[in-house]
Amino acid sequence: MSRTRPVVGIIGNSHLINDQYSVHAGGTMNSQAVSEVAGALPLLIPADPRYVSVGELLEVCDGILLTGGRPNVHPCEYGEEPTPAHGDFDRGRDAISLPLVRACIERGQPFLGVCRGFQEVNVAMGGTLHPEIRDLPGRMNHRMPPDGTLEEKFALRHPVRFVVGGVFHRLLGAEEVMTNTLHGQGIKSPGKRIVIEGHAPDGTPEAIHVKDAPGFALAVQWHPEWNAANDPVSRPLFTAFGEAVRGWAAGKA
Alpha helices (runs of H) in the chain, residue ranges in sequence order: 28-32, 54-60, 91-107, 116-124, 150-153, 167-172, 234-252
Closest CA to 45 of 32, 33, 58, 35: 58
pLDDT in tens, 231-253: 999 999 999 999 999 999 999 86
> C-alpha distances in angstroms, 184 versus 116, 159, 190, 222, 240?
10, 17, 17, 11, 27
Domain spans, the chain? 7-252
Please name the CATH architecture into which domain 7-252 falls. Answer: 3-Layer(aba) Sandwich (3.40)
pLDDT in tens, 177-236: 999 999 989 999 999 999 999 999 999 999 999 999 999 999 999 999 999 999 999 999
Active site positions, annotated: 115, 223, 225
- Asked if pLDDT for residue 3 goes beyond 90, the answer is no
pTM for the model: 0.95
User: What SS3 string covers 12-23?
Assistant: CEEEEECCCEEE
